[in-house]
Chain A
């Protein structure tokens, strides 16, 4: 019997111009969304690529100068020398800066530490539009390195991207509401409900048939368009061969289907209340407004009021205080000269210049570290509060899950920055002792400079971060469905509730 109802309903739905219009709009907005998401990822990748090419060219210039010097000395059989830091170009025969590990690792050569996009990055832009997906690492202090601004019009950042995640979180519920608000009330208002009930079926089977037909059609569309989106963006980003991409896509489907089920559940619930179509649509629109707009902004307001982020202005003030303090500890004579323009320094002084600079960077880091830590701590506290409150609104659950699944969350970015900071230490450890020993860098060692390798988060981490929330959402959906179908027993086919 159920099968017959589902088949009839599906046929009716697909013959209704309103349904076809809704489905077409959904497909169109999903396609626009994935296109925008893909453009955002390609922009990030292009930005990183340009940086890699430019930095490689800078390194090559240093290397070329060094090789020329090596040839020059070898041809004349004279020993190579160590070049003190100097910003003026070397005269012929003079050792270039490329011989000096401090100058090379300190400012001449920078490693571009890239956070690679996941295979699903185009599905949700998340927080990746705020900062660059790469960091330029040298021997400066880590706070300056961490200022990873990516240029973007603040107006666009404020509006956010019309990506697939937006379509899922905001628009999909509206379409589901449009499909479900009059499942029973519509039949009742046109007088066909009583007629249908004269047939040997229960109201609950009837409802189940309506629900399954609608959910089935919609889910089919989502799976199909989602798969197309994956193939389209994956082909462009070259990530289809990675099994991780498919794992993430499976998780994405699960999350989206659960979220859709939640809104279908509300449709059933409202139908079970036995009110007019007009009341149903008002209730559902109200719930949408509360869940998708008001709740998230209120939770955000609470999180940022209870645990306000420290001011970056205070961080800068602390950095400058630390820098001044470190400077006061330095010898008077160095300051008399250019600490930043060593070309005019007597040679005895130039030898200490870089040592002083490096010492200052480290002193600054030690002094400012506690202030810097506060940002992460406060962010963690905010995240803790949000994760407790997320069940008030499935839209929040969804946003967190989609960013996590797409690899565009703050957590993943922070984990990446931690890797960058660790690499920063490695970079320093490589260059500082060589500089202090006044080792003359050989051109053959340039290929051995430390390289940043991003250690991707394991799939388990993603499952861990999203699993509990999705399970919570599943429980909520199950509860709504159970209650609604139980309530349908009390549904008066001929009277209003």
Chain B
């Protein structure tokens, strides 16, 4: 029985001109999105890899000079794309892509790609993820809003029920029929995505197949939630028109209004500090001591330096700094670097906590919009979310302090106060390992996503329950 109903539903949909057009447009959009996403991502990957390789070359090929001066020249870390960025570019356009790692200064990742594209890019990117997150639910709604309500309007529901079809069979038949129609859109696109996954990506050791599979699973759950929801509303609504208005209204609310409103609310709850506030606090802490810290970090800088100096003088039993066996200038610079590293780690950590708290606030709104948990999961799996950006930021800062320790260390080891001259070349610069970004593992990507998985599952289960309950009370 279910099969018969499904077949009838499927055929009816295919023969309807409106649906034919929307399916065709969706397929075209999805293909465009996949292909341009792939092409764009590959060219970005090339630019990035070339730039990072060139950076290493520039670092090693710089003129022979004092290692500390070399640290001033420093290195650049360029942000790699997520492995599945062709599918979901995530925050990629809005996150900094280049960090200058230099002596004395802790810099932010600069240059968000969005600033080089016009305001029109703020409408959003035509990525496969956007198409599936925003447009697919609408197509599902269009295919299913009249499933019950339309038959009720035309009177055929009465006939169908008079034949003794069980409500459950009716629901599952319609579910399968519409799902098959949606499949016409999604399966070819999934095949393209799968082909890119299998053959189109460089083998960089990331496990993409499991990520791909999970993406399919979560998007399926999302689509099924909308399908059940639409069927349920269609069963309850008095007319097809009402069902359509309610569903389209919910769609606009869930996919357009909520994400923006949630972002603003998360900022009201947890404000983001500004650039000038950030440096105001860090520079103050660097000079006068970190409030709430213990030990040397809590002291003003000059006091810490003096204490360390006195300790050295005492240890070596010499009267003045000029008599020290080590090069005090380099040594004191490293004291400052280590101090600043800890201070900036504290403030950057606080900032990171703000970002993640904002994300969590936004995820909470997943209770009213299934898009929000799906969006987070999709970015996390595609390697284009906040976790990935913060991994980049943190590994770059770790690289920076290691580079500076090496360079200052060279200076400390090879010079004295009486003979501070030391010129190094490639043989010394090559002691700094080139910057390498290691993407989060699948476990790390999903570590903060439990809530989202639960929310998305809840949407699937509850919408199914809603549809079943609505159909059980079906009135002709």
A contact residues vs B (CB 8 Å cutoff): 29, 32, 36, 39, 43, 46-48, 50-51, 54, 126-127, 130-132, 147, 149-162, 166, 170-171, 174, 178, 277-278, 281-282, 285-286, 289, 293-294, 296-301, 303-305, 308-314, 316-317, 320-321, 323-324, 327-328, 335-341, 343-344, 375, 378-379, 382-383, 386, 395-396, 399-400, 403, 409-410
- Which single member of A47, A277, A323, A338 contacts B275 (CB below 8 Å)? A47
Shortest Cβ distance from A376 into chain B, in angstroms?
Answer: 10
Question: In whole angstroms, how far apart are the Cα atoms of A386 and B122 in the complex?
Answer: 13
Shortest Cβ distance from B453 into chain A, in angstroms?
Answer: 18
**Are the CB atoms of A131 and B58 closer together than 8 Å?**
no
**Are the CB atoms of A153 and B355 closer together than 8 Å?**
yes
**Are the CB atoms of A399 and B256 closer together than 8 Å?**
no
Given contacts A297-B130, A300-B123, contact A338 B66 (CB under 8 A): yes
Point out which of A313, A327, A403 has the most chain B C-beta atoms below 10 A from its C-beta: A313
Interface-located stretch among B70-78, B397-405, B444-452: B70-78
Given contacts A311-B47, A316-B98, contact A48 B276 (CB under 8 A): yes
Question: In whole angstroms, how far apart are the Cα atoms of A285 and B245 in the complex?
Answer: 10
Question: In whole angstroms, how far apart are the Cα atoms of A337 and B421 in the complex?
Answer: 7
Question: In whole angstroms, how far apart are the Cα atoms of A392 and B111 in the complex?
Answer: 31
**Are the CB atoms of B362 and A155 closer together than 8 Å?**
yes
Question: B8: which A residues are within 8 A, CB to CB?
Answer: none
Shortest Cβ distance from B413 into chain A, in angstroms?
Answer: 17
Question: A285: which B residues are within 8 A, CB to CB?
Answer: 248
**Are the CB atoms of B262 and A159 closer together than 8 Å?**
yes
Q: Contact residue range for chain B?
A: 35 or more
Shortest Cβ distance from B273 into chain A, in angstroms?
Answer: 6
Given contacts A43-B271, A149-B96, A339-B72, 20 further A-B contacts (CB under 8 A): A46-B277, A50-B280, A127-B122, A155-B386, A157-B91, A157-B114, A159-B260, A166-B260, A289-B135, A300-B124, A301-B125, A305-B40, A311-B47, A312-B113, A313-B47, A313-B97, A317-B58, A338-B69, A395-B123, A410-B119
Given contacts A166-B260, A278-B241, A299-B120, contact A43 B274 (CB under 8 A): yes
**Are the CB atoms of B120 and A323 closer together than 8 Å?**
no
Question: A313: which B residues are within 8 A, CB to CB?
Answer: 47-48, 51, 78, 97-98
**Which residue of chain B lies nearest to A380 when distances are taken between CB atoms in the complex?**
B118
Shortest Cβ distance from B56 into chain A, in angstroms?
Answer: 11
Given contacts A36-B264, A297-B125, contact A130 B72 (CB under 8 A): no
Question: B125: which A residues are within 8 A, CB to CB?
Answer: 297, 300-301
**Are the CB atoms of A378 and B114 closer together than 8 Å?**
no
Question: In whole angstroms, how far apart are the Cα atoms of A300 and B29 in the complex?
Answer: 14
The answer to whether B18 has its CB under 8 Å from any CB of chain A is yes
Point out which of A32, A149, A320, A321 has the most chain B C-beta atoms below 10 A from its C-beta: A320
**Which residue of chain B lies nearest to A383 when distances are taken between CB atoms in the complex?**
B118
The answer to whether B244 has its CB under 8 Å from any CB of chain A is yes
Shortest Cβ distance from A240 into chain B, in angstroms?
Answer: 25
Interface flags for B13-56 (1: CB within 8 Å of A; 0: not) read 00000100010000001001000100010011001100100110
Question: In whole angstroms, how far apart are the Cα atoms of A377 and B44 in the complex?
Answer: 20
Question: A311: which B residues are within 8 A, CB to CB?
Answer: 44, 47, 51
**Which residue of chain B lies nearest to A305 when distances are taken between CB atoms in the complex?**
B36
Question: A282: which B residues are within 8 A, CB to CB?
Answer: 18, 142, 244
Question: B100: which A residues are within 8 A, CB to CB?
Answer: 316
**Are the CB atoms of A50 and B276 closer together than 8 Å?**
yes
- Which single member of A152, A316, A399 contacts B120 (CB below 8 Å)? A399
**Are the CB atoms of B280 and A54 closer together than 8 Å?**
yes
Interface flags for B379-405 (1: CB within 8 Å of A; 0: not) read 000000010010000000000000000
Question: A156: which B residues are within 8 A, CB to CB?
Answer: 263, 266-267, 272, 358
Question: A289: which B residues are within 8 A, CB to CB?
Answer: 135, 138
Given contacts A281-B241, A314-B47, contact A151 B117 (CB under 8 A): no
Question: A297: which B residues are within 8 A, CB to CB?
Answer: 123-126, 130
Given contacts A149-B110, A324-B58, contact A47 B277 (CB under 8 A): yes
Question: In whole angstroms, how far apart are the Cα atoms of A154 and B273 in the complex?
Answer: 13
Interface residues of B, dominant DSSP = helix
The answer to whether B423 has its CB under 8 Å from any CB of chain A is yes
Given contacts A155-B355, A289-B138, A336-B66, contact A410 B78 (CB under 8 A): no
Question: In whole angstroms, how far apart are the Cα atoms of A386 and B121 in the complex?
Answer: 10
**Are the CB atoms of B259 and A157 closer together than 8 Å?**
no
The answer to whether B65 has its CB under 8 Å from any CB of chain A is yes
**Are the CB atoms of B277 and A341 closer together than 8 Å?**
no
Chain A to chain B contacts (Cβ below 8 Å), 30 pairs: A39-B268, A43-B274, A46-B274, A54-B276, A126-B119, A127-B119, A130-B115, A151-B274, A153-B386, A154-B95, A166-B260, A297-B124, A299-B120, A300-B117, A303-B118, A303-B120, A310-B116, A312-B111, A312-B113, A313-B97, A314-B51, A316-B100, A320-B58, A327-B63, A337-B421, A338-B68, A339-B69, A379-B117, A382-B117, A399-B119
Question: A324: which B residues are within 8 A, CB to CB?
Answer: 58, 61-63
Shortest Cβ distance from B272 into chain A, in angstroms?
Answer: 6
- Which single member of B63, B109, B420 contacts A335 (CB below 8 Å)? B63
**Which residue of chain A lies nearest to B58 when distances are taken between CB atoms in the complex?**
A320
**Are the CB atoms of B263 and A159 closer together than 8 Å?**
yes
Shortest Cβ distance from B129 into chain A, in angstroms?
Answer: 12
The answer to whether B106 has its CB under 8 Å from any CB of chain A is no
- Which single member of B18, B29, B55, B118 contacts A294 (CB below 8 Å)? B29
- 8 residue pairs, one from A and one from B, having the closest CB atoms: A47-B274, A309-B116, A159-B263, A296-B123, A157-B94, A154-B91, A312-B111, A50-B276
**Are the CB atoms of A317 and B261 closer together than 8 Å?**
no
**Are the CB atoms of B58 and A321 closer together than 8 Å?**
yes
Given contacts A132-B275, A281-B244, contact A336 B65 (CB under 8 A): yes
**Which residue of chain A lies nearest to B122 when distances are taken between CB atoms in the complex?**
A160
Question: B256: which A residues are within 8 A, CB to CB?
Answer: 170
Question: In whole angstroms, how far apart are the Cα atoms of A404 and B266 in the complex?
Answer: 28
The answer to whether B466 has its CB under 8 Å from any CB of chain A is no
Question: In whole angstroms, how far apart are the Cα atoms of A303 and B117 in the complex?
Answer: 9
Shortest Cβ distance from A200 into chain B, in angstroms?
Answer: 32
Question: In whole angstroms, how far apart are the Cα atoms of A170 and B135 in the complex?
Answer: 15
**Are the CB atoms of A327 and B62 closer together than 8 Å?**
yes
Question: B331: which A residues are within 8 A, CB to CB?
Answer: none
The answer to whether B64 has its CB under 8 Å from any CB of chain A is yes
Given contacts A149-B108, A335-B65, contact A293 B123 (CB under 8 A): yes
Shortest Cβ distance from A388 into chain B, in angstroms?
Answer: 12
The answer to whether B93 has its CB under 8 Å from any CB of chain A is yes
Interface flags for B323-359 (1: CB within 8 Å of A; 0: not) read 0000001000100000000000000000100110011
**Are the CB atoms of B58 and A340 closer together than 8 Å?**
no
**Which residue of chain B lies nearest to A169 when distances are taken between CB atoms in the complex?**
B123
- Which single member of A50, A51, A309 contacts B117 (CB below 8 Å)? A309
**Are the CB atoms of A316 and B76 closer together than 8 Å?**
yes
**Which residue of chain B lies nearest to A88 when distances are taken between CB atoms in the complex?**
B329
Given contacts A152-B272, A344-B329, A396-B120, contact A158 B93 (CB under 8 A): yes
Question: In whole angstroms, how far apart are the Cα atoms of A124 and B278 in the complex?
Answer: 26
Question: In whole angstroms, how far apart are the Cα atoms of A410 and B108 in the complex?
Answer: 22
Question: In whole angstroms, how far apart are the Cα atoms of A339 and B103 in the complex?
Answer: 13
Question: In whole angstroms, how far apart are the Cα atoms of A396 and B113 in the complex?
Answer: 20
**Are the CB atoms of A341 and B119 closer together than 8 Å?**
no
**Are the CB atoms of B275 and A149 closer together than 8 Å?**
yes
Question: B241: which A residues are within 8 A, CB to CB?
Answer: 277-278, 281
Question: B355: which A residues are within 8 A, CB to CB?
Answer: 153, 155
Question: In whole angstroms, how far apart are the Cα atoms of A260 and B242 in the complex?
Answer: 25
Question: A132: which B residues are within 8 A, CB to CB?
Answer: 275
Question: A160: which B residues are within 8 A, CB to CB?
Answer: 122, 260, 263
CB within 8 Å of A: which B178-234 residues: none
Given contacts A309-B117, A340-B69, A375-B116, contact A147 B55 (CB under 8 A): no
Question: A338: which B residues are within 8 A, CB to CB?
Answer: 66, 68-69
Question: In whole angstroms, how far apart are the Cα atoms of A153 and B270 in the complex?
Answer: 11
**Which residue of chain B lies nearest to A89 when distances are taken between CB atoms in the complex?**
B302
**Are the CB atoms of B119 and A409 closer together than 8 Å?**
yes
Question: A314: which B residues are within 8 A, CB to CB?
Answer: 47, 51
**Are the CB atoms of B36 and A47 closer together than 8 Å?**
no
The answer to whether B412 has its CB under 8 Å from any CB of chain A is no
